[in-house]
Chain A
Amino acid sequence: MSIPLLTCVVLVYLSIVAYLTVKAYRDTNSASDYMLAGREIHPFVMAISYGATFVSTSAIIGFGGAAAVFGMSVLWLTFLTILVGVFIAFVFFGRRTRVMGLNLGAHTFPEFLGRRFDSRGLQGLTATLIFIAMPLYASVVLMGGGKFIAQILAIDYSVALFFLTIIIAIYVIMGGLKAVMYTDAFQGSIMFSGLVILLAVTYYKLGGITQAHQRLSDMSEIAVKIFGAKGHTGWTTFPQLGSEYWLVVVTTIILGVGIGVLAQPQLIVRFMTVKSDRELNRAVLIGGIFILVVVGVPFIVGPLANVFFYYENSATAGKIALLAADKNVAQIIPMYISAAMPQWFTALFMITLLSAAMSTLSSQFHAMGTSLGRDIYEKALGRSGNSVLLTRVGILFAIMISYFLAWGLPHFFEGGTAIIARGTAIFFGICAAAFLPIYFGGIYFKGMTRFAAYAGFFSGTLMSLFWLFFIHIKESKPLLICKALFGVDSLAAGTKWALVDPLVIALPTAIVVTLIANFFGRPPSEQHIQKCFEAVR
């Protein structure tokens, strides 16, 4: 790639990020500005920020690569992300969260739950779980971004990781949520443009939409020959019902992420950043189109890369994408970009991926920082102080932990990379099981008791952890605890249970426990309920 071209593009990109950071810094005068962007965010910024936070570099490269293996059945995740992650989230969760958040004066998601159930303990527990689980998720994104920069600029991974972390740290600490959301909107726009071009060029190269799909469909025999034993039936058909691939596609990719999106603290807080329901209504339109492109395109281009590598690229002729990339799923999309796309696009796509990493990371750092500074230190522990300063310190602390995980785990621990690689799935699964039943109950059921909230939280968390540490082999194996205690990689090794995502078990468990526990405990006072639900429709 042309280094002068790349340098120019990166400099322009960083200058715009710097400008937006300074603007956000000047506009930030209070704790509500720093944590909630003053509740005055434009719907375009809110919708794009929401989507850009959800979609990271790992999602584009990792899920794009996974789609190249599993095929277009993963498009169902795009459907769920638009329907559940945008439409249901904004219309049925967002409106209530916004109004109730204002009624309760909540600044963060843990504070929202804590005040709804009138419990600082719950606020502290929620924040603690976020603060413990999110660094792993952040380190996935950091590692992905760092590796990508190191590869493109041909520099050392540690150097790339260090500078990526420093740049994000500066703008998140300086400008708070305003800086995060302004830069997210800019970065999201780049992602959108880059992916639209990627899709258009891919279809053009492969002979048009129907022709490209047909060529991929015609490769089904090759897919069955290579992956048939695991249930693969072709790249444009669903894996065999109940097979190993079917379980991975349906429980981990489609349900794990598609449902998990509803309970992400860094996304939920965005509902409280807009002025009124009108902004949320507008954001539904913008978010729907944005997610269609940024989630959908990698799931189409990934499988189509098989056609390109097999038929169009002389260097890899006769090889499917996975084999062309030396069986490295994470290399499929970058390889496809450098082999199939024009040079100017490689520079644009580099910025697209950098944007995806930075937009997700900045939101993660902000969410972890507010959890530590605001929710744990200031509220749960009852220490008073300058909220903005405490949150800034919290963010700095969170950034350092994530950085050392991304840098240190692969260095000092053999299975470190494998653990980090599962970070997204672990975080999504834990959040969905621990938070979704109490979040949904909190905004819809007036009579839900504090006891039920605690029961839902603990049952979801504990069942997730049990399944992660002892059953789901993709996590239990690298985590090594099951091996140390019982001498096996998974207590369900050799059965299909070992392939079932924790969310599929832990979420229903948490829902049932929450419902049963609601028969116990003292109902909330009428006055408190009135305050929570005032103007909630």
Chain B
Amino acid sequence: MFGLDGFGVPLGLALTLASALICIVYGIKNWNRGFLNDDEAKRKKSWLEEEHRIEDTL
């Protein structure tokens, strides 16, 4: 394949390209999935408030 001998190296190249393709397809498919829901936004807000409270105390 592409001038490469044997089995191991062509397989390594094919798997390299395939794994990159998996990342691309996964990224495109889930591009807009998983944004903060209300619950997580609330937890993040309370975490930030706690952080500021600790810093003010210090």
Contacts and interface: CB of A to CB of B under 8 A. Distances in A.
Interface in B5-28: 5-9, 12-13, 15-17, 19-20, 22-24, 26-28
A105 B50 contact: yes
Contact of B13 (A75, A212, A278): A75
A283 B31 CA distance: 9
A276 interface: yes
Interface residues of B, number: 39
Nearest to A208: B3
A285 B33 CA distance: 13
Given A75-B9, A220-B5, A385-B58, A288 B23 contact: yes
Interface in A224-251: 233-234, 236-238
A212 B47 CA distance: 56
Contacts of B32: 278
Interface stretch (A78-86, A335-343, A350-358, A511-519): A78-86
Contacts of A209: 2-3
Nearest to A220: B5
Contacts of A75: 9, 12-13, 16
Nearest to A210: B3
Contact of B16 (A39, A78, A278): A78
Interface residues of A, number: 59
Given A71-B9, A75-B12, A217 B26 contact: no
A96 to B, nearest CB: 13
Interface string A362-386: 0000000000000000000000111
A287 B20 CA distance: 9
A131 B12 CA distance: 35
Contacts of A32: 48, 51
Contact of B33 (A275, A278, A386): A278
A79 B58 contact: no
Given A31-B51, A281-B33, A289-B23, A102 B44 contact: yes
A402 B40 CA distance: 39
Nearest to B48: A32
A386 B27 contact: no
Interface in A70-105: 71-73, 75-76, 78-79, 82-83, 86-87, 91, 95, 99, 102-103, 105
A328 interface: no
A312 interface: no
B3 A72 contact: no
A214 B1 CA distance: 10
Interface of B: 2-9, 12-13, 15-17, 19-20, 22-24, 26-28, 30-36, 39-40, 43-44, 47-48, 50-52, 55, 58
30 contacts: A30-B52, A31-B55, A72-B4, A75-B9, A76-B12, A78-B12, A78-B16, A83-B15, A83-B19, A87-B22, A87-B26, A102-B40, A102-B44, A103-B43, A105-B51, A217-B4, A234-B5, A234-B6, A236-B9, A237-B8, A277-B33, A278-B35, A281-B27, A281-B31, A281-B33, A288-B22, A289-B24, A292-B16, A384-B58, A534-B43
Given A283-B27, A285-B23, A289-B24, 19 more contacts: A75-B12, A75-B16, A79-B12, A87-B22, A105-B50, A210-B3, A213-B4, A216-B3, A236-B9, A238-B8, A276-B36, A277-B34, A277-B35, A278-B34, A284-B26, A288-B27, A289-B20, A535-B40, A535-B43
